[in-house]
């Protein structure tokens, strides 16, 4: 069975349009469709605010304009799913969707839009729990109910009581208690980091194997994605976590990298590659004491690692310990002619001679 992952925000009008087009694609029972979290507006407030009074920016306006998309934007194309260091375009969908929220499904009524600026983290938790408890079919029903409530009924999907009621209508009970316990929170955070590391930069993004398309694509494009996508190479968890941490560091998310590294640090904390990634993440998040301790322990075992030596020098420099930093930077520059190493030596020497 093939799997399509739909990375989408429950407050994204393009996601609702994309869901309709996905239904029209008729992919068959041998394709499992799984919804993954993406957050367009990470600063959305709790509790929610009325859009009409509080929120008029590109996020909300873009979602509303999705109901009347621009004409002739050009044909879509399949592309490899990229890493976070080379993100995919985060633009409006490349297809020309019809106003599918206007009566394309019984009971949808007239064309409407969101009325709340809602934080969707709890909605993503409900969606993730739906998959864990009832698989793709239940999850799809829950997603449909939440999207309809937000875009058609004007409900506040940032409100936990509302979410629990919507989930119960879709056949998922017990969400009030689950949300209060914190169920699904760690899972959603982990998926958000994985999506960021894999280069998901817009909602919706449809992924099959290692191939992705972005935006509310026509049904035929989504069908082609399933037919022609290259299968994803499955990696051991340890390798995937290492690569994800590297991608998050490249994306300037050191705290996300540290979160990804937690299981590796617990089980493989002595591995030089794990230690070096952790040191980079500590340095990037200004945890200079931890960075120094990690690098010093690493260099005791691998004294010839010129990058670790350079990073230790930079850590000490950043902590204003320039006399201690200079020997490490000089040694790193002697081991490798990297211009960054030489520049760091010159910079620290100039500070010490002032």
Give me the domain span that covers residue 157: 2-228
56 and 180 inside one domain: yes
162 and 133 inside one domain: yes
Residue 216, judged by CB atoms within 10 A of its CB (0-12, 13-18, 19+), counts as: buried
255 and 173 inside one domain: no
Cα–Cα distance for residue pair 214/198, rounded to 1 Å: 14
Cα–chain-centroid distance for residue 350? 42
Q: Contact at 8 Å (CB) between 122 and 114? A: no
168 and 193 inside one domain: yes
pTM score of the predicted model: 0.82
> 233: Cβ–Cβ under 8 A, 6 or more apart, which residues?
210
Cα–Cα distance for residue pair 280/152, rounded to 1 Å: 46
242 and 114 inside one domain: no
Q: What is the pLDDT along the chain (354 residues), one digit of tens a residue?
A: 889 999 999 999 889 888 989 999 988 888 999 999 999 999 999 999 987 554 544 443 444 344 433 333 334 444 555 444 333 333 333 333 333 343 333 344 444 578 899 999 999 999 999 999 999 999 999 999 999 999 888 899 999 999 999 999 999 999 999 999 999 999 999 999 999 999 999 999 999 998 999 998 999 999 999 998 888 888 899 999 999 999 999 999 999 999 999 999 999 989 999 999 999 999 999 999 999 999 999 999 999 999 999 999 999 999 999 999 999 999 999 999 899 999 999 999 999 986
Residue 127 token pair? 């969606």
Q: Contact at 8 Å (CB) between 326 and 351? A: no
193 and 275 inside one domain: no
Q: Which of residues 174, 201, 228 is at a domain's end?
A: 228
Q: Report the CATH number that the domain containing residue 301 is assigned in CATH.
A: 1.25.40.10
Q: Report the CATH number that the domain containing residue 141 is assigned in CATH.
A: 3.40.30.10
Number of folded domains in the chain? 2
41 and 169 inside one domain: yes
CA–CA distances in Å: residue 283 to residues 279, 299, 315: 6, 16, 7
58 and 102 inside one domain: yes
């Amino acid at each position: 069975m093939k799997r399509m992952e739909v990375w989408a925000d429950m407050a994204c009008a393009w996601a609702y349009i994309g869901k309709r087009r996905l239904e029209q694609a008729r992919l068959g029972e041998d394709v499992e469709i799984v919804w993954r979290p993406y957050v367009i507006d990470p600063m959305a407030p709790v509790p929610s605010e009325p859009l009409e009074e509080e929120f008029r920016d590109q996020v909300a306006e873009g979602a509303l304009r999705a109901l009347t998309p621009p004409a002739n934007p050009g044909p879509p194309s399949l592309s490899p799913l990229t890493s976070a260091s080379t993100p995919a375009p985060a633009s409006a969908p490349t297809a020309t969707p019809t106003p599918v929220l206007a009566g394309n499904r019984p009971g949808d009524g007239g064309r409407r839009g969101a009325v709340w600026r809602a934080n969707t983290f709890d909605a993503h938790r409900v969606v993730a729990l739906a998959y864990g408890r009832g698989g793709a079919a239940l999850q799809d029903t829950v997603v449909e109910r939440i999207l309809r409530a937000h875009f058609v009924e004007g409900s506040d999907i940032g409100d936990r009581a509302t979410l629990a009621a919507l989930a119960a209508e879709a056949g998922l009970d017990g969400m009030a208690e689950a949300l209060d316990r914190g169920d699904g929170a760690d899972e959603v955070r982990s998926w958000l980091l994985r999506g960021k590391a894999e280069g998901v930069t817009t909602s919706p993004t449809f992924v099959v194997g290692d191939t992705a398309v972005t935006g509310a694509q026509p049904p035929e494009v989504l069908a082609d994605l399933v037919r022609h996508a290259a299968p994803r190479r499955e990696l051991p968890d340890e390798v995937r976590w290492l690569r994800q941490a590297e991608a998050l560091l490249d994306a300037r998310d050191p705290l996300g990298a540290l979160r990804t590294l937690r299981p590796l640090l617990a089980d493989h904390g002595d591995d030089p590659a794990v230690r070096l990634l952790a040191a980079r993440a500590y340095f990037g998040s200004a945890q200079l004491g931890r960075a120094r301790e990690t690098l010093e322990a690493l260099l005791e075992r691998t004294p010839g690692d010129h990058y670790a030596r350079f990073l230790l020098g930079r850590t000490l420099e950043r902590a204003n310990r320039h006399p201690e930093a200079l020997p490490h930077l000089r040694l790193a520059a002697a081991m490798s002619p990297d211009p960054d190493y030489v520049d760091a030596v010159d910079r620290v020497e100039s500070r010490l001679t002032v």
